[in-house]
Structure 1
Amino acid sequence: MSLHFHNRTWIQLQWQEPAPSLKERLRVLHTVIGVIQETLAFMSKRWRVILPVSEGLAARIRPQIAAPQRIQILPNLLDETRFHSGVRSLHRAAMRQQIHAGETDFLFIFVSTGHYQRKGLWSALRSLQACRKRAEKECGLHLRFLVVGAGDRAQQNLIPQLNQTAPDWRDWVSLIPPTSEVERWYAAADAFLFPSLYETFSLVALEAAACGLPLLVTAYDGHEMYLRDGGNGCLLPWTVAGMTQRIMEFLQVDRHHLKAGPDRFVHASGYADVLDQTYESVIRERML
């Protein structure tokens, strides 16, 4: 069983956050169904191996599994032919010119095609909004925010809340539609900002790190697989006030000495090998 989500954790977080709309309330109901299905799956004895995508997710499910030794971590793979440090030299100048970004423009990038409340878009927006004047005064930087992955319908839903949260957002926020070449936008950016409430791995964060961007992320499951706090990025607090202060510290100090690159990951070329080894071990076990 490949495991990419943990409904029990997510529903606990949903109860802590007030549902702002009927749509969000219906999502809570959907999660309840997921919890039931997930619990029944964990109770089944037919699984030989469970493959969670991160160490954080593995730690959450171990108390629910009768035999913890059947858990083997298999992280999401990274396509190293697309996501690597060379994309900055290949695409950075052209992509920044496309959005008229100057030398003093510092671009934070957020990548998602949906679930913006859970993934922390509004916390990121409020934090950057609070940093903008200080960043310009103390660092000489003009902060901009690239939100990549929002299609036409998603943008129609986002714009009213953008108008309410940051009335001047059109001056510094760019909504970029879904793209098959997201690595070009990583190349244009200067840092990856993703204060998600809940993830189990976050492939986009891994991709950003591989492209040489410092990571500014919260302590969701999976961050331990590629973030070294103070090494290749910064761990953000959950509150907007704490997040704002940490971003300013990053702009003033950390951005000058962070070393780009993920901690560790599975390349696309090696992903099948890991799966083969897993199946072989199960087959050998059954033959004994």
Structure 2
Amino acid sequence: MPPNVAAPSDDVEGGRRAEGGRKVGGVTTSETTRTFGEAWASWQTARLRAATAPYGLASLVATNWLSRSPQPLEGLPGTWRLDGGVIVGEGLSGVDDVRLAEGGELELGRLLLRHHRRDDDVALRVLDPDAPSRAAVAGIDAFPPDPAWVLTGRFEPAADGSSVDIHEIDGYVESYALAGTVHLRIGGEEVALLATGARSGMQVVFSDTTSGGETYRFRFLRLRADVSNGHDGGDSGAPQPIEVDFNRAYLPPCAFADFYLCPMPAPQNRLRVAVRAGEKTVDRPPKERAR
């Protein structure tokens, strides 16, 4: 919990002190906190469902980079190549040749094939409902929801057309659209987090002093800065308040399967404070954790 934020009540998830509470806007604090916890629990349920669905996050078994030369791919029939930016599969044993354009996907037996582009490179991604990585997910370990981790910061928009180079988990450096900077005070520390994407759906990739031990090596956070206090923020370049709920910090796809190419935290997003909120790690059976 951030030292500069008041401690939460004991009834974060409707436990102790559920018999009453101070009135805030006609609603008791116990009711408010219970609603907060219920909303978070619904989000967690949806997160686990997305990860463990037959073609969910944990089912990715390959990211195969392609060229114009036909090549066989492990676990797939025929050969695969590029024709412009289109993936072509040929000689598929009783199945017509296939063409997969950018943004497309198709089923091949029990497998789902998906087109993936990174800059000028194209890969064929393979999702398998029988993937060991999917079977290994028992749950998502997370900190209990804590309203003290819902912070108010200040969003400073970047100039239109700004970008930032981000290292991805495989060492590749990709240019991302820079939305702006989120200024916050966490545990007595002033931080300035780079946010990428559009203001209506920004992403913050961060690590903190729990990363790599108590939590996964880095985590994601979704924010939006196009709405502030119920009013449309428009295209104004002026700084504005922004809500940052670290309870919704979530694991990147690469925490669930090894074949994702997740962006790493920018240097200034590597926090020197502990963020004990949000998702921690993928919960795996004891046999899997021992590997």
For Structure 1 versus Structure 2, the TM-score category normalised by the shorter chain is under 0.3
TM-score (norm 1): 0.25
TM-score w.r.t. the length of structure 2 is: 0.25
State the structure with more CA Rg: 2
Q: By percentage of residues, which structure has more strand?
A: 2
